Amino acid sequence: MSSLLSATKVSVGDRPLTLAGVVAVARHDAAVRVSAAALAQVRETRALIESLADNPRPHYGISTGFGALATTFIAPERRRQLQASLIRSHAAGTGAEVEREVVRALQLLRLQTLASGRTGVRAEVVEMYADMLNAGITPVVREYGSLGCSGDLAPLAHIALAAMGEGDVRVPGGDVVSAHDALAAASLTPLVLEEKEGLALINGTDGMLGMLLLAAHDFEMLLDTADVAAALSIESQLGTDAVFAADLMALRPHPGQRDAAAHLRSLLAGSGIVASHRDPEVCTRVQDAYSLRCSPQVHGAARDTLAHASTVAARELAAAIDNPVVTPDGRVESNGNFHGAPIGYVLDFLAIAVADVASISERRTDRALDVARNHGLPPFLADEPGVDSGFMIAQYAAAGIVSELKRLAAPASVDSIPSSAMQEDHVSMGWAAGRKLRRALDGLARVLAIEVMVGVRAQQLRAPLEPAPSTGAVADLVRDVSGGPGPDRFLSPEIQAVTEFVVTGAVARAAASALSFAPLKEDS
């Protein structure tokens, strides 16, 4: 699938980018192409900016300084220096290096805005951003530096700095080289920025939006996987699927809940384990615990939260953000569209949903290991309890992750800290919200992997009762990297291997392959 996506060419400028297009470029190195119509619009807008540059009346970002220095007039002979100084001073990121896929999303999304014709840059700038993406030149961007207002300033400045032939970049193969050398190797000439271009390159929400799009893509797959993990737990803990009936779900018509319940019904269909205790004389329990019975309510609420976040992301993909911005009727206007509040909020909403999906998963795992609650399974699913500890400490790992996810669910977007001599006195912290969401999604994948491992082991201990076809397919997959019941083994490599199955979507696809609908698409 990766080679197929890398052969795809994503068009920029004809229409707003799609989530699939961003993922293809950011994660799978798909090529980009800027439409001829977009370049024509860029040239037309640039002519307007150049006319204003010759105007003796100051125009912000064209013939003035920036931020708190907006009233300082800059003479024409100093304006190239002004633009270069802006980028160099703003490329002040620090901390760990940001992941390659996030940087490529950042590059692509800024390219889309530049190609909109609303920023006033030259066509050469647009083409340089496309050429750098296609050459696999990925600027080194550091984790700290954006407050999520006036754009993701420092991250975007590092991209612009590389386009100027300065700073460090990663090239195909992963080596870090100077931007000057990387551009030369790709036969690209470093940019010399003209009036307005420095601002246009750094005034956008592209970093936080890129992280939102990647997170939305990944969370959708993890929610399908959470349903699979829940089905394994419900089945192997002798739970019932009757509570997921469509007519019961219709009494509370949330679409996410409806879809999660339908998925669980499909996953559990044909289970000999579930069928074995349908008779009231065999099973005297009236109700399952909440972590089993309420799985579609929690997973469904997360799905609805993701749907809202995806709506916000789609609107932002249709935006052209710069300050000042060139309007379609030719005005150059200051504005506040660079504020990251809309994106910051939904990044935080998703972090809450991620934490809660992981929390209910860990509770299902814990029930499976507790001899007082797992309905006939050995303590911790151990082969010889006392000598063997089974999955005791795997649950500790899940619990530790869930505890961290609760901390990561504390919203970044409620914080603000003044900057730029109080000119920028309220900021969104959207970049920080994106950074913590990425860590949260990694934690969720690991918690789900542990639940899948525990569910498969518990299912195996129910033999000779037969599992559902879908959960049985997942058990077959997991057995390739994690053996069946037996004495204790070194668990860490097995957890890591199953986590890889979760992250790549292999667990969700294995379950889907046994159902009537098509399996999920492969990802990495």
Give the other-Cβ count within 10 Å of 325's Cβ. Answer: 21
Give the burial string for 484-498 (b: 16+ CB within 10 Å, else e): eeeeeeebeebbeeb
Upper half-sphere CA count for residue 444 (Cβ side, 13 Å): 34
Q: Is 60 a catalytic residue?
A: yes
Structure tokens at 114: 């530049």
Question: How far, CA to CA in Å, does 416 sit from each of 157, 262, 341?
Answer: 21, 42, 11
Rounded-to-integer distance, Cα 250 and Cα 24, Å: 37
Which neighbouring-strand residues pair with 326? 332
Tokens 């004389």, residue?
281
Host H or E run for residue 170: strand 168-170
Interior CA angle at 290 toward 287 and 294, to 5°?
Answer: 100
Closest CA to 428 of 336, 498, 341: 341
What is the radius of gyration, based on Cα positions, of the chain? Answer: 26
User: Which tokens hold the place of 138?
Assistant: 């990925």
Q: Buried b vs exposed e over 87-98: b needs ≥16 C-beta within 10 Å?
A: bbebbebeeeeb
User: What is the rounded CA–CA span in Å between residue 430 and residue 414?
Assistant: 10
> Which residue(s) pair with 176 in the sheet?
170
Ramachandran quadrant class, 488 (left: phi over 0; alpha: psi -120 to 50; beta: rest):
beta
Contact between 24 and 12 under an 8 Å Cβ cutoff? The reply is: no
Are 254 and 298 a contacting pair, CB within 8 Å? no
Q: Where are the beta strands (DSSP E) in 91-151?
A: 94-97, 138-139, 142-144
Amino acid occupying residue 89: S
Q: Is 326 helix (H, G, I), strand (E, B) or coil?
A: strand
* Helix, strand or coil, per DSSP, at residue 419: strand
**Which one is catalytic: 60, 129, 290, 396?**
60
Nearest CA to 413 out of 312, 316, 345, 313 is that of: 345
Pairing of strands 94-97, 9-12: unpaired
Active site residues: 60
